[in-house]
């Protein structure tokens, strides 16, 4: 007989995303964008550190190194797609006639 399916613990701890399209304080979009870029850089730095520790033999396991590199790659791809959407929206706004 099959074991019952249990919840994935890491998924239940995720926080729901806050809507970004709310009217807010001036400069709020800039702070959100800067925070997101810093998070992407931190993820990339963690992946680079994991690879460096693996190559120097500092008890870094292969699977954690690969997971860190994949996480950084996926985060970068997501950031790139968001950037493309923002640029596309800006271009669409600039094409509007007043």
pLDDT at 31 over 60: yes
Nearest 5 degrees, angle CA 23-CA 26-CA 16? 50
Query: Which pLDDT score, from 0 to 100, does residue 23 have?
Result: 61
Query: Which pLDDT score, from 0 to 100, does residue 9 have?
Result: 61
Residue 87 belongs to domain spanning: 29-95
pLDDT at 93 over 70: yes
Query: Which pLDDT score, from 0 to 100, does residue 32 have?
Result: 87
pLDDT at 78 over 60: yes
Query: Does residue 12 lie within any of the structural domains?
Result: no
Count of structural domains, the chain: 1
Query: Does residue 89 lie within any of the structural domains?
Result: yes
How far is Cα 90 from Cα 98, in angstroms, rounded to an integer?
Answer: 15
């Amino acid at each position: 007989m099959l074991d019952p399916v249990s919840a994935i613990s890491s998924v239940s701890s995720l926080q729901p995303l806050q809507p970004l399209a709310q009217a807010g304080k001036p400069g709020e979009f800039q702070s959100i964008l800067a925070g997101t870029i810093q998070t992407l850089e931190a993820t990339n730095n963690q992946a680079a550190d994991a690879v460096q520790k693996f190559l120097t033999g500092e008890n870094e396991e292969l699977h954690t190194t690969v997971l860190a590199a994949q996480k950084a790659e996926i985060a970068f791809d997501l950031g790139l797609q968001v950037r493309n959407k923002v640029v596309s929206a800006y271009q669409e706004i600039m094409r509007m006639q007043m």
